[in-house]
Structure 1
Amino acid sequence: MQKSVRLKSFELVARNIDDVDVNLLHALSLGVGWPHRPKDWDLLRRAGHGIVAVDGIGRVFGSAMWFPHGNDFATIGLVITSPRTQAQGNARWLMEQVFERCGDRNLSLNATDAAYKLYVSLGFTKEAIGYQYQGDVAPVLPALPPLNGELSELSGDRLEEIAALDTRAFGVNRGKLLALLSENASIRVLRRGGEAVGYSMCREFGRGHVVGPIVASNDHDAIHLTAVHLKDLAGAFARVDTRETGAFAEFLQQSRLAVSETVTTMSRGRRFLNLKDNEPRVYGLAGHAVG
């Protein structure tokens, strides 16, 4: 594997992301218009692994991260190249470094429009479109469907109650990630007959708050699990990333969240998404990088 790459006048090497000043990572994401704050970068570095493309004097020209879940699967995210090297092969070189470190793992990622062709050329296949809804939450939410079950708060030390449910929805156990997200999140769980059938988290991110992950088996449950957070964010900036296009998406629109960007969920190896009717699935992503 090529350990360095020359892009015109830049000789770049891969450095462990943990060894790079978080303010340089923040500047990298700002340069491409991504909302990640330094504390968002810090959380993602705790959740996964990454490399950064740097030159001989420590300037940062790109990044890529991967988030292993178990021994045979990982999500890929934070693949960023500086504008000066975007058309010079930097992203492909970064992805080759990631492949080497991930070994035989099955992989998934959310591709921007600009990066889609690159990922196709690297063996990724399309599974779904993801929609980034965001905006200032309406002062009054739309009318909600009848609630089927009991909705209550869940403390971060009781994540075992939703662990099996999340694994069914996501496809693999991502307990480490949920534990990290829960440190500064508000968590709600929906129960029927005393059994957890859905949950949601809300935490600070970027310009405001993100509601996700959201796990539910149907639109009505997902709407309630989202509304319980949005009602506390009236007038504030919020974001929900989803692959849904039905009643759940309509609820987000009626709450004054609009689609600001779309991405393509792609996989390399086994297919990733579980979209079976009436089975738990991920209605709201934890984030573009981690799924």
Structure 2
Amino acid sequence: MDAPASESKLIDSFKMHVATIESADLEQLHALSVDSFKMHVATIESADLEQLHALSVSVGWPLRSEDLQFLRECGRGYVARDDIGRLTGSAMWFPHGDDFATIGMVITSPRLQSNGTARWLMEHVLRDCLGRNLRLNATRASRRLYHSLDFKPMRTIYQCQGIVRPADSTTTTEQPPVRRLEGEDLVAVAELDAGAFGVSRAALIGKIFAQSVGYGLFRGDRLQAFALCRPFGRGHVVGPVVADSNADAIAVIRPHVAAKENQFLRLDTPIETGLFATFLSQSGLAVFDTVLAMSRPGKGRADVVPGPNLYGLASHALG
């Protein structure tokens, strides 16, 4: 027997209500209401580079458009846009193999930093990275967010930078043998980096190597230490740097310091004290700021921890 007309209307109304809820749930994944406007998520590849640069400048990050394009070529990520197309946030992740990734470029427009945009974008990134071991470098402003997302502190990273001045080159020991790196050295560089970083990132090292000047320390035919230097930000950045001792690290960095005298140079390092830190300070690279390296283990695997021979990061975003 057919239902009465009033009951049929009630059933139809209920079905429409359920459909509306399901549609709203789907929309919530791709849109976030903030104050009186709505933000929409999009891939970072779709973002206008000038807008992305303006977003980074708004939080005081001195990245060039070329640096941002390089990061987009190395990783994946998302941006948030408001109803009139302005970028209000970004977040990226950089895969290294199937089980590991670094996270970076997590930026929120200063006027929206307390409205959940960063967490919303991070949730998209974490969904993409499900099961991977993760590592990031957290600014003071972002540490509370990452703690809430189950990231644990590892160690402090010191952002050393400044106008280069000649360091004291006097020494009582013989200088280790250092030479300019060539294309045939790339495989050895990637292998040495993998041991120091904790996981192979050969593809990234290849991209960095292609735009860098590098110096390596060899004993016999074996590469023992290296330092790459490339244009970045306000001048140049040295990194990654891998060495087994302070003396070896200084040896591969010294040629970059000599070449950049009276220019701006930056190096991000976990080394706080000792001969290496003293050399940086004497060269004009004072500690400008610090970030906290944090990690989150993936499913079924122990965390990937960098070794003590990683003297310099590639960058905050790339590790």
- TM-score band by shorter chain is over 0.9
Partner of 1:7 in structure 2? Answer: 34
- Residues 8 and 282 from structure 1, CA distance in 2 versus in 1: closer, same or farther, beyond 3 angstroms? same
- Alpha-carbon displacement from aligned partner over 1:252-276 (angstroms, at most 9, x marks no partner): 0111111111000000014333344
1:144: how far off? Answer: 5.7
Describe the SS at the equivalent of 1:116. helix
Amino acid aligned to 1:62: G
Deviates more, 1:142-151 or 1:116-125: 142-151
CA distance in structure 2 between the aligned counterparts of 1:26 and 1:10, rounded to whole angstroms: 23
Deviates more, 1:156-165 or 1:40-49: 156-165
Residues 1:252 and 2:280 are matched in the alignment: yes
CA distance in structure 2 between the aligned counterparts of 1:10 and 1:286, rounded to whole angstroms: 38
- Alpha-carbon displacement from aligned partner over 1:54-112 (angstroms, at most 9, x marks no partner): 12222100000100000000000000000111011111111101001112111000000
Structure 1 residue corresponding to 2:289, chosen from 261, 272, 281: 261
Count residues in correspondence. Answer: 286
CA contact 1:147–1:221 (8 Å) conserved in 2: no
In the TM superposition, structure 1's runs of 4+ consecutive aligned residues that sit over 4 Å from their partners are none
Structure 1 residue corresponding to 2:81, chosen from 39, 48, 54: 54
- 1:210-229 equivalences under 5 Å are 210-229=237-256
CA distance in structure 1 between the aligned counterparts of 2:306 and 2:54, rounded to whole angstroms: 36
Structure 2 residue corresponding to 1:141, chosen from 167, 173, 186: 167
- Residues 275 and 163 from structure 1, CA distance in 2 versus in 1: closer, same or farther, beyond 3 angstroms? closer
Structure 2 alignment gaps of length 5 or more: 1-27
Deviates more, 1:172-181 or 1:266-275: 266-275
Partner of 1:126 in structure 2? Answer: 153
CA distance in structure 2 between the aligned counterparts of 1:285 and 1:113, rounded to whole angstroms: 19
1:188: how far off? Answer: 0.9
Partner of 1:271 in structure 2? Answer: 303
Partner of 2:64 in structure 1? Answer: 37
Partner of 1:19 in structure 2? Answer: 46
- 1:117-266 equivalences under 5 Å are 117-138=144-165, 140-143=166-169, 145=171, 146=173, 149-156=176-183, 158-245=185-272, 246-266=274-294
Q: Quote the RMSD (CA, aligned, Å).
A: 1.4
Larger radius of gyration: 2
CA contact 2:39–2:81 (8 Å) conserved in 1: yes
Amino acid aligned to 1:158: D
- Residues 144 and 80 from structure 1, CA distance in 2 versus in 1: closer, same or farther, beyond 3 angstroms? farther
Amino acid aligned to 1:200: A
1:147: how far off? Answer: 5.0
Partner of 2:133 in structure 1? Answer: 106
CA contact 2:175–2:251 (8 Å) conserved in 1: no
- Residues 62 and 104 from structure 1, CA distance in 2 versus in 1: closer, same or farther, beyond 3 angstroms? same
- Residues 43 and 157 from structure 1, CA distance in 2 versus in 1: closer, same or farther, beyond 3 angstroms? farther
| Higher fraction of strand | 1
Structure 1 alignment gaps of length 5 or more: none
- Residues 147 and 48 from structure 1, CA distance in 2 versus in 1: closer, same or farther, beyond 3 angstroms? farther
* TM-score (normalised: structure 1): 0.95
CA distance in structure 2 between the aligned counterparts of 1:15 and 1:240, rounded to whole angstroms: 32
1:177: how far off? Answer: 0.8
1:143: how far off? Answer: 2.3
- Alpha-carbon displacement from aligned partner over 1:193-212 (angstroms, at most 9, x marks no partner): 21001111001101000011
Describe the SS at the equivalent of 1:2. helix
1:148: how far off? Answer: 5.8
1:251: how far off? Answer: 0.9
